[in-house]
Amino acid sequence: MRALLSFLLLILSAAPGWAAGPLAYHLKPVAIAPDTWIFEGTREHFTRANGGNILNPGFIVTEEGVIVIQTGPSRRFGEEMRAAIATVTDKPIRKVFVSNLHPDYWLGNRAFADVPIAALPGTIEGIKAEGAGMTENMYRLVGDWMRGTEPLAPTEAVYGSTVVFGSHRLRLIPLEGHTAADLAILDETTGVLFAGGVVFSDRTPTTPHADIGKWLAALDALEALDVTVLVPNHGRIRSDKAAIAQTRDWLTWLDGTLRGRAEAGADMAELLDLPIPDRFAGMGVLREEYRRSVSHLWPRIEQTVLLRVN
């Protein structure tokens, strides 16, 4: 909980002022494959200008109804998402899947309270434990966008399995590393992979709950899949697996750099302005997210090195 509070409060310090005009996300479904749409978020932090719209939620229209993947950062977002889905199909919402406990994945749940909302057990436990604090901090970060938003944990636990809705076979893939429970969903019918929190695309990864070793193993598992379209949690949609390689490259560099500096006896303050390799220059919020990752990861790395030395 302390790591997440630090993460959100650091974002708050950089948040710009209120957006002008009425508050609306103006969500527009973007078709990425047969029966499959996404709402593409910005590659920014949570701010009062974007209302927390930094994620790529999506939906799949099946013969049995609509499958929603992530509900967004607020009740307002969830309601607008439902309205936007209704411009594509008149089929009812059949089920919602939530990939992890970070607030932009599930704070729109109230707009879908009439249907089953599914997540991994660890995600449900995390939301029950931390959801109230996350909601409070999102109010501080994005203000009036959050009006009417209250935490609602997923109601159905899911595990690794394949579920069928009409002609769409969805493989539910339990992973960990970005958080303690990360759900990826592969539509075996279309080859679309909703990578959950594990893959970032041209956006610097966030690390408040990260275990880098487990995260790298999760990336290896996704790399082995047959994928035609990759939907990262944040950033550009891809028709290849380049975002997996980019995320792996960043995490490997970050972990190796911090460990090397710890072994050299550096302190955390020395790392905040460390040069970042040019190959990462195109990633959104690079320096800001790097500094957050230092604050998240350094204490554990430093302790590990000190224990080994002693």
- Express each pLDDT in 150-163 by its tens digit: 999 999 999 999 99
pLDDT (0 to 100) of residue 4: 52
Q: pLDDT tens-digit profile of 241-283? A: 999 999 999 999 999 999 999 999 999 999 999 999 999 999 9
Q: Are 261 and 294 in contact (CB under 8 A)?
A: no
* 19 has a pLDDT exceeding 80: no
What are the boundaries of each domain within the chain? 24-241
Residue 54, pLDDT above cutoff 50 = yes
Q: Which CATH number fits domain 24-241: 1.10.10.10, 3.40.50.10540, 3.60.15.10, 3.40.50.2300?
A: 3.60.15.10
CA-angle at 262, arms to 258 and 263, nearest 5°? 120
In the chain, the amino acid numbered 168 is H
Rounded CA gap, 113 and 304, in Å? 44
- More confident site: 9 or 239: 239
Confidence grade of residue 294 (pLDDT, cut at 50, 70, 90): very high
Q: CA dist 238 to 63, 149, 232, 265, 281, Å? A: 26, 32, 8, 40, 19
Structure confidence by residue, pLDDT tens digits, 67-110? 999 999 999 999 999 999 999 999 999 999 999 999 999 999 99
What is the residue type of 4? Answer: L
